[in-house]
Amino acid sequence: IDDLLRDGVAGKRVFVRADLNVPLAGDTITDDGRIRAAVPTISRLAEAGARVIVASHLGRPKGEPDPRFSLAPVARRLGELLGREVAFATDTVGESAKATVAALGDGEVTLLENLRFQAGETAKDDGERAAFADELAALADLYVGDGFGAVHRKHASVFDLPARLPHAAGGLIATEVGVLRRLTDDVRRPYAVVLGGAKVSDKLGVIDHLLERADRILIGGGMAYTFLKAQGHEVGNSLLQEDQLDAVRGYLKRAEERGVEFVLPVDVLAAAEFPDLAAKAPAEPRTVGVDAIPADLMGLDIGPRTQELYAAKLADAATVFWNGPMGVFEHPDFAGGTRAVAQALLDSSAFTVVGGGDSAAAVRLLGFDETAFGHISTGGGASLEYLEGKTLPGLAALED
Ligand code: 3PG
């Protein structure tokens, strides 16, 4: 983006592919972190006199307009954060988008409606994606890729569009990639990784990769129960991915061979059922050791002894990467584990990176000062795939 700005963008229509995929409750944004992260690049372009066309996806609509996934609330919040009016186009490449873009003056900003309201955005078929990318390209003169959270998607606006316009990486992508390089090249050791979240199947690639690089891997969240079961514990009604047990056993064996320390919960908070997140009624959890999880209970957070253990394992780390909450942090009774890990990151003198939509949202929702962490990534899947060493379509398209 520095090069584009040096060459001058005044009067140019600049398409900014951002990731404004924020969590919504109705039309209330519950965490605006991604919108705030998108602001600097948009501001710089607007201040330089560009006519800025911002575009993003939100959720996973099925290739047609669906009001539940409208970006209208995001346009309002973006306007507040930018301190400028954001004209909202009620479609993506239709009459509203064309008219809104045509009416843009220098330094003005528009947000297009959800890119995924068009089937071409996510189409597997190259031709279908290309046709949609052609329509998007007709709206703009230049392209800035800044939606780090979506760079792992081979989607029209991420992968095909930059090939059609002079393009650059925005400031957010540059920052995110710079940080992730510190986790892959010349990592300061000990390197500890904390992985949580619901499903172990989402983390297989990254575990595989980290077994070659990390010194210590701490496991929490729903995925921990598949590890505990693989070690011979009974996990009651906890989340369990039976089909991943063999893979997990393989990882535990490899970790032992390679001298990588795998740290699993020693106790959990368990309850009879998944808590009601809307009502937040007390769930009356019980603290139980992992060798005594009752058959009729499900583990929903790591327990107090595990919190202490994990804090101790993070205290002397020099680099920490954390992805995925330790429990159902949206409910106050099960937020303790996630809060403890966030606090342990803050207490350590390590370079700390929080990756992932959920863990980043958790840090903010639990009231932590996000500037106290080394870096909070806006990308969940994207940062994991980067760490897996995969080629990310949205970055490859910009490097070209
Ligand atoms: C995310 O939330 O990880 C990104 O916005 C990508 O969303 P997706 O997983 O629906 O492609």
Nearest CA to ligand 1 atom 1: 149
Task: Quote the percentage of the chain above a pLDDT of 70.
Answer: 100
Give the DSSP H/E element, type plus range, for residue 216: strand 216-219
Which pLDDT belongs to residue 356?
76
Give which of 111, 113, 143, 147 is closest to 37, Cα–Cα: 147
Q: What percent of the chain is modeled with pLDDT above 90? A: 89
| Contact of 51 with 13, CB cutoff 8 Å | yes
User: What backbone torsions phi and psi does residue 128 show, to the nearest 5 degrees?
Assistant: -65, -40
Distance 305 CA to ligand 1 centre (A): 34
Q: Which two tokens stand for residue 17?
A: 């592919």
The verdict on the CB of residue 31 being under 6 Å from ligand 1 is no
How much is the pLDDT for 370?
87
Tell me, using a 6 A CB cutoff, whether residue 381 lines ligand 1.
yes
Ligand 1: does its nearest atom lie under 6 Å from the Cβ of 61?
A: no
Instruction: Report DSSP letters for 112-159, one per residue.
Output: -S-GGGSHHHH-SSHHHHHHHHHHHHTT-SEEEE--GGGTTS--IIII
Of ligand 1's atoms, which has the minimum distance to the CA of residue 60? 10
pLDDT exceeds cutoff 80 at 400: no
Q: How long a stretch of residues is the chain? A: 400
**Phi-psi category of 19—alpha, beta or left, where left has phi over 0 and alpha has psi -120 to 50?**
beta
The predicted model gives 193-203 an average pLDDT of: 92
Q: What is the mean pLDDT of the chain?
A: 95
Give the integer Cα–Cα distance in Å for 211 and 205.
Answer: 10
For the segment 9-19, the average pLDDT, to the nearest whole number, is: 98
CA of 20 to the centre of ligand 1 (A): 10
Nearest Cα to 172, choosing from 195, 155, 149? 149
Q: Which residues define the annotated binding site for ATP?
A: 203, 299, 330, 356-359
Atom nearest to 381 CA in ligand 1: 3
Asked if the model's pLDDT at residue 280 lies above 90, the reply is no
Binding residues for substrate: 19-21, 34, 57-60, 116, 153
Q: How far is the C-alpha of 340 from the C-alpha of 329, rounded, in Å?
A: 11
- Angstrom distance (rounded) from CA 294 to CA 335: 21
- pLDDT recorded at residue 52: 98
What pLDDT, on the 0 to 100 scale, is given for residue 55? Answer: 98
More confident of the two residues 134 and 204: 134
Does ipTM surpass 0.95 in this model?
yes
Q: What three-state secondary structure class fits 191? A: strand
Quick one: which of 391, 340, 347, 384 has its CA closest to 362?
A: 340
Residue 316 per-residue DSSP state:
T
Tens of pLDDT, residue by residue over 210-223, are 999 999 999 999 99
The residues near 107 (Cβ < 8 Å, ≥ 6 apart) are 46, 47, 49, 50, 51, 84
Quick: pLDDT tens for 298-333: 999 999 999 999 999 999 999 999 999 999 999 999
Question: Sorting pLDDT into bands at 50, 70 and 90, what band is 186?
Answer: confident
What is the Å distance from ligand 1's center to 21 Cα? 7
Residue 17 bridge partners (DSSP) = 55, 145
Task: Answer for the pair 385, 392: CB distance below 8 angstroms, yes or no.
Answer: yes
> Can you tell me which atom of ligand 1 is nearest the CA of 356?
3
CA 116 to centroid of ligand 1, rounded, Å: 11
Token match 């990254």: residue? 206
Q: Catalytic positions, please?
A: 34, 199, 357, 381
Model confidence, pTM: 0.90
